[in-house]
Structure 1
Amino acid sequence: MSTIRRLDEARVATVTRSDSGFHSNRSHIARVDSSQTTELAEDGNPFSPLGNEAPNRTALTQLNRDDEALSETFPDQEENEKKVMTSKEPPRNLWRIVAVCVWNAAGGWSDAAPGALLPHIEEYYHINYTVVSLIWMANAAGFILIACLSHKIQPWFGKRYSMVAGCGLSCIMYSIVSSGTKFPLIVIGFFCGGMGLATCLAQGNVFLANFDKSSKYLSFCHASYGLGATVSPLIATAMVNAGIKWHYFYLTILGLMILNGTNFFLAFKGADEDLKPWDPDTAHDNIISTSESSGTRRSQIPVDGAIGLQDFAASGNKARKKKAAAVNHTQDMILALKNYKTWTIAFFLLFYQGSEVSFAGWIVTFLLDYRKGNSASVGYVASGFWGGLTVGRLLLTRVVYKQIGSRRGIIVLSLMAILFVVLIWVIPNAIVDGVLSAFAGVAIGPNYPLQITLTTRLIPRRIQVISLTIITAFGSSGGAIFPFLVGLVSQNFGSFVVLPIFIILYSSMLFLWICLPNIERKREPGQRLNIFQKLW
């Protein structure tokens, strides 16, 4: 009897070990049972061990079932946690990267066009700076509306249809603007375009920020934006110089956006499922659903009188999950709104894109008014600026990130951009100012992808989707609000105000950037830092 008691204690100890040891523990139990048979036979125990053989097999069978259930549950969860998203994993990712880059090129094509077409729009409608700047204000209103709905858009539509819907809203804008209809309708069109651009921009940034080597893919993406913005003023200027009405230019963007919508529809097929391991919103849900699914597998043995109860329980679980998901999205929105880093980076990007688009939109008018530039060729200066921005994003982003990091890189590049704009202000030569505009673009370009790269490390993973949507919407709103304000001030003081406004906005942006935590700084334990080390 003492031998049997010891064997039972060994069996219990074996069963209560960790899940990872079940494979070896089964063999251990089998060895114990065989030794039990031998020992009982040698002792001449009248109670035959054959009577216990069936129960032992049942216990081992149950252990096998539990082991299979656990081996199905935990390794998958660990594998999802260790996965790294690349251009080949999931399989459609390379296509999706290309689709996002092509869309960004179309976005740059659209954003850069008003800068070259502004004098022609004013002449066509016989309006002043203030009135024509309403197109940017309407654009900003569309971005802000999307920011307010950021926590609802993806749960409603999913990644695929969110991006297709964004392209659809942009197509509405280009259809209205290309018709050359009355100016109030043009303003409404720019409002729809703002909503469309904000939706796709937020989804694209969130998608690329989850990649391994995200700085590389973000630099490609936003360099594509700069490429579209470089070509756009060239085409627009050539068309109006050839006698083609300005609004027909938007037919080219309409065609591009239809292509983008189709591309998104095909490339992001199944994206909500195969990108789920990297979706911060579903991380907690995956753990819950995994544990529940293991419990479901164990309970699928038919029981008399229980027919239909599993379906009833499953429907109840789905309802509870749906309700819990709605609560989680609301809680995440509140957390994102309470996070000071979200708002600091949002205003950083507001000033960044406000200064960038204001400069690109009004530099041509400034050169015409104050540098007596040639009206037939000065429009190409805008292309030079966007070309410099493209080169900066494509060639400098990865180098700066690897050599000095995102924080220091943005500080250095921002100071260089301010220097170039000051030189444009003080040197009264149209050709030199055009060249300096291109150099300013080179310095301005890498700041956007560098900022996104560091933001994904500063913002908690759970609220990254919502925070990045708010941040990108604020940034794009800045690209609409500040050109309007420049036009408003230019009406009374002249278009030269674009230069001091740029300097003020960029200085404010730099101050906000320095206020963020310096997570890239290497600090020895117990080391005391001086002011320069804290900032740098």
Structure 2
Amino acid sequence: MEEKSSQTPVPQTDFSVKKARRRSWLHFLACCVSMISIGWVDGSSGPLIPLMQQQFHVNYTLVSLIFIVNTVGCLTAAAINVFYSEELVLGKATVTAALAQIIANALQAAGIRLPFPVFVISYYICGIGVAMQDAQANGYMASVKRNGATKMGVMHAAYGVGALVAPLVSTQFSNHPSFWSLFYVVSTGLGIINLICLAVIFQFKGKEQCLIEEGEGIERSESSSTAAGQVHWRQIIGSRPVLLVAAFLLCYVGTEVTQGNWSVSYIINERDGGTASGYVSAGFFGGLTIGRVILLPLNSWIGEERVMYLYLVICIGFQLVVWLVPSLVTGALFVSFIGVLLGPFYPIAMNVCGRTLPPHILTGSIGLIGAFSASGGALVPFATGAIAQAAGIWSLQPLMVGMLALQGVIWILEVPKQPVQVKSSESRHPTRSSPTSSPALDPEKNIRE
């Protein structure tokens, strides 16, 4: 009996490891499902924009209000993530955000019966839901140490899957002008699946608890406890690297969503494409999905920080081909190639944040960065619509070239060479400092400029 009892802990330990790994994959699956639903939202509008214009009798500028209102929703989510980063609980925040997305999609499903202002307002609700889910998923995955970079890349490939399938489905609805808004019934169904998945897997638990369950995050949890009461929104918005990453991803997501949606109108009007032009959007997001997976070895070999310069230069060259070569097939093909090279941008930026930002400001910083990047996916498409109304849809191409060049400039300024040192609120109260504080939390350190 004693011999049996002495051997009991071994199988229990093995079971604990297996259970932790299973929880890890379930958490990863939930984040992927959430990113699929976000990609679905970002990829769906392109083929439907011409039908929205016909239905509501609005021009490029007015139909682009859906993007600007979505921006306001994203900025609202950014404010919530920054000012209440410590109060937000991963499981509860993601479920609430998914519910907001469902409500927005349900309103949009009645689009042919709604007044245009109400249809536009639904994008504000959707913006809050999408940006909140995006920030929570990225903040969680940036905290994962075991295969974190690979999981981040695959999670964002899941975003690409949603953005790829959405225009394929919405293009089918665009062939039936009287029923185009029923596409959002499909979106509502996907949102419900996402909500159930998040509720069942995360079980309304906090990030640290979920990380500990999967054998991760014990060190981060301790660091977060050490910094309890010290995190202040001024530490986040006062950090130059955080603001530059937010600016970079605002430009990137704006470029991505604009390219994926307005390219359809560009191909129809400038390259004489037909109703099947919606597949150009699918090709772009398909390239985005593929790039986030197949380029992982190249990213690792060259180095994530350095490989970005290579991708940006090639993307600008491909964009010039789309602009200057008057061919429908060539334009559609190179839009897809651009998607492949743009794919790794977001996960690489998130990985840089996870490696360099102190744990006690990581969640709030990712919240700010994620929500601002989501707002870029609304602001830049709106600006594109306004410019297209004044100058013509051909202006899409020089705008995209300029946005890619701007990303290169920001990346040069932004890439942190070492972990960022952030001054905690204890610096204002020296007597409360602890001699055992870690370097990242040392109150004597200044914010790394």
TM-score (norm 2): 0.84
Tell me if structure 1 keeps the 8 A contact 2:64–2:386: yes
Correspondence for 1:257 among 182, 191, 206: 191
Identity of aligned residues (%): 29
Q: Is residue 383 from structure 1 mapped to residue 295 from structure 2 by the alignment?
A: no
Deviation at 1:243, TM superposition (A): 5.3
Counterpart residue number, 2:388: 490
Separation of aligned partners in 2, 1:494 and 1:88: 57
3-state DSSP of counterpart to 2:277: coil
Aligned residue for 1:338? 238
Give, in angstroms, the shift of residue 90 of structure 1. Answer: 6.1
* Residue 283 of structure 1: how far off its partner (Å): 2.5
Q: Given the alignment, which residue of 327, 336, 344 partners 1:429? A: 327
1:266-311 deviations in Å (ceiling 9; x for gaps): 1012642243562888424646xxxxxxxxxxxxxxxxxxxxxxxx
**Number of the residue aligned with 1:283:** 222
Q: Pick from 72, 79, 95: which aligns with 1:141? A: 72
AA matched with 2:293 = L
Aligned equivalent of 2:251: 351
CA displacement at 1:400 relative to structure 2: 2.4
Match of 2:44 in 1: 113
Do the aligned partners of 1:147 and 1:469 also contact (CA within 8 Å) in 2?
yes
**How far 1:224 moved relative to its partner?**
0.9
CA-CA distance at 1:466 after TM superposition: 0.9
Measure, in 1, the Cα distance between the counterparts of 2:283 and 2:25: 30
Q: CA deviation at 1:509?
A: 0.8
Larger radius of gyration: 1
Candidates 129, 133, 152, aligned match of 1:218: 152
How far, CA to CA, are the matches of 1:125 and 1:262 in structure 2?
Answer: 34
Whether 1:195 and 2:97 are equivalent positions in the alignment is no
Partner amino acid for 1:388?
G
Of the three residues 25, 33, 36, the one matched with 1:102 is 33
Say whether the 8 Å CA contact 2:223–2:360 is kept in structure 1. no
Contact 1:201 1:472 in 2 (8 A): yes
Letter in 1 for 2:92: Y
Shift of 1:213: 2.1
Query: Matched residues in 2 for 1:475 and 1:90: separation?
Result: 31
Matches within 5 A, 1:14-163: 89=20, 91-153=22-84, 155-163=86-94
Q: Distance in 1 between matches of 2:415 and 2:162?
A: 34
Change (3 A) 1:183 1:393: same
Alpha-carbon distance in 1 for matches of 2:387, 2:40? 26
Q: Is residue 2:230 matched to residue 1:328?
A: yes
- Cα distance, 1:215 vs. partner? 1.5
- 1:471 is the counterpart of 2:369: yes
- Which deviations, in whole Å up to 9, do the C-alpha atoms of 1:128-158 show, x marking residues without a partner? 0000000010111011111112145454451
Report the secondary structure of 1:92's partner residue: helix
- Distance in 2, matches of 1:462 and 1:280, equals 11
Q: CA deviation digits over 1:189-233, x for unaligned, max 9?
A: 100000001111111001111222212111111111111111111
Distance across 2 between alignment mates of 1:144 and 1:365: 27
Alpha carbons of 1:484 and 1:285: their partners in 2 closer, same or farther (altered >3 Å)? Answer: closer
TM-score by length of 1: 0.70
Mark the CA change 1:142 to 1:133 in structure 2 (over 3 Å): closer, same or farther.
same
Q: Name the CA distance, whole Å, in 1 between partners of 2:266 and 2:225.
A: 56
Shift of 1:96: 1.4
Output the CA distance in 2 between the equivalents of 1:480 and 1:87.
Answer: 42
Deviations 1:30-63 (A, max 9, x none): xxxxxxxxxxxxxxxxxxxxxxxxxxxxxxxxxx
SS of the residue 2:20 aligns to? coil
Distance 1:100 1:384 in 2: 24
For residue 241 of structure 1, the aligned residue among 152, 175, 178 is 175
The alpha carbon displacement at 1:88 in A equals 6.1
Aligned to 1:71: none
Distance 2:371 2:142 in 1: 16
Residue 97 of structure 2, aligned match among 166, 169, 194:
166
Q: How does 1:389-408 map to 2 (within 5 A)?
A: 389-396=288-295, 398-408=296-306
Cross-structure match for 1:507: 405
d(CA) in 1 for partners of 2:376 and 2:264?
20
1:476 Cα offset (Å): 0.8
**Residue 109 of structure 2, aligned match among 174, 178, 194:** 178
Give distance in 1, aligned partners of 2:154 and 2:245.
22
The 3-state SS of whatever aligns with 2:203 is coil
What SS class does the counterpart of residue 230 from structure 2 fall into?
helix
Equivalent pair of 1:87/1:94 in contact (CA under 8 Å): no
State how far apart, in whole Å, the 2-side matches of 1:458 and 1:404 are: 19
Deviation at 1:259? 1.0
Give me the CA root mean square deviation: 2.0
**Equivalence for 1:438:** 336
* CA distance in structure 2 between the aligned counterparts of 1:285 and 1:97, rounded to whole angstroms: 22
State how far apart, in whole Å, the 1-side matches of 2:359 and 2:218 are.
Answer: 9
Does the C-alpha gap of structure 1 residues 285 and 419 become closer, same or farther in structure 2, counting only changes over 3 Å?
closer
Structure 1: how far apart are the matches of 2:271 and 2:75?
36
Q: Give the deviation of 1:497 after TM superposition.
A: 1.0
Q: Is the 8 A contact 1:174 1:250 kept in 2?
A: yes
Match of residue 38 from structure 1: none
Q: What secondary structure is seen at the aligned counterpart in 2 of 1:373?
A: coil
1:456 corresponds, among 354, 359, 364, to 354
Partner of 2:307: 409
Gaps of 5+ in 1: 1-85, 288-323, 521-536
Distance 2:273 2:376 in 1: 28
Q: Using a 3 Å threshold, how does the CA distance of structure 1 residues 103 and 285 change in structure 2: closer, same or farther?
A: closer
* Distance (Å, rounded) in 2 between the aligned partners of 1:188 and 1:101: 27
Where relative contact order (Cα < 8 A, 6+ residues apart) is larger, the structure is 2
**Could you say which residue in structure 2 is the equivalent of 1:18?**
none
The equivalent residue for 1:22 is none
- Distance in 1 between residues matched to 2:326 and 2:348, nearest whole Å: 33
Paired residue total = 394
* Contact 1:346 1:470 (8 Å CA) reproduced: yes
2:47–2:170 Cα contact (<8 Å) kept: yes
Letter matched to residue 65 of structure 2: L
In the alignment, is the contact (CA less than 8 A) between 2:312 and 2:404 conserved in 1? yes
